[in-house]
Amino acid sequence: MQADEDMTTHTNSRAPRWRRIAAAALLAGLAPWASAGLFDRASDTFLPADQAFVPQAVATEDAIVVSWQIADGYYLYRHALSFAPAPGSALRLGNAEIPPGAVHRDEFFGEVETYRQRLTVTVPVDHWPQAGPVRIVVSYQGCADAGLCYPPQRQTVTTIGGAATPSGHR
């Protein structure tokens, strides 16, 4: 019991010192970022493109449904969307069914449409080359409200799910 009391007293009396050490270590650890400010490095307040716009593709019986999760404060342009089979694939795609977006007047390009939060596009499949997942190349481009645009992105996405059999055997 006495030992317990001693330990309690001991621990409590040292707590402020530990907090001071921790604070000093934290400050020392933060120093590189503070000194990096001397050279005004590029801001890291923007998300990388692959976190701002996260594409996913799901195969249904006769289409591939491509969807993007779009981070808050970021948006995608309709005119930059395109879909193609992965190189070397015999997958054949129809015309993508792209929903209407929010219409904006761009002083240089005229009318443009944008999407926020979530975008879902259905890409009909005319021919499944194989059973199981297939790979599709999705192209897109977007920007952040805070004043940044990302270069056009081209991602090869493997579908979740796929045809039960290739088209020729259905």
Partner 1 sequence: MRALLPILAASVLALVAGLGLAWWWSGPQPQALPAFALPDLDGDIRQASDWDGDILVLNFWATWCKPCREEIPMLIAAQADYAGQGVQIIGLAVDEPEPVQRFANQFGVNYPLLVDALGVMRLQDAIGTATGLPFTVIVDRSGSIRAQVLGEMDRDRLDALLRPLLADAA
**Which tokens belong to 161?**
């799910």
Q: Which of 149, 160, 164, 165 binds partner 1 (CB under 8 A)?
A: 149
**Cα Rg, the chain, nearest whole Å:** 26
Nearer to partner 1, 102 or 149 (CB): 149
Residue 88 as a binder of partner 1 (CB under 8 A): the answer is no
Size of the site for partner 1 (CB under 8 A): 39
Q: Which stretch binds partner 1 (CB under 8 A): 24-32, 58-66, 81-89, 129-137?
A: 24-32
Residues 66 and 119: their CA atoms lie apart, in Å, by: 8
Q: Which of 48, 100, 110, 168 binds partner 1 (CB under 8 A)?
A: 48
Residues 111 and 134: their CA atoms lie apart, in Å, by: 34
Residues 167 and 131: their CA atoms lie apart, in Å, by: 9
Spatial neighbors of 77 by CB under 8 A, at least 6 apart, are 112, 113, 114, 140, 141, 142, 143
Nearer to partner 1, 32 or 168 (CB): 32
Distances (CA, A) of 95 to 25, 29, 138: 58, 54, 13
For the bound state, the minimum distance from the C-beta of residue 143 to partner 1, rounded and expressed in Å, comes to 7
Q: Which stretch binds partner 1 (CB under 8 A): 89-97, 127-135, 149-157, 159-167?
A: 149-157
Q: Which stretch binds partner 1 (CB under 8 A): 55-63, 124-132, 144-152, 156-164?
A: 144-152
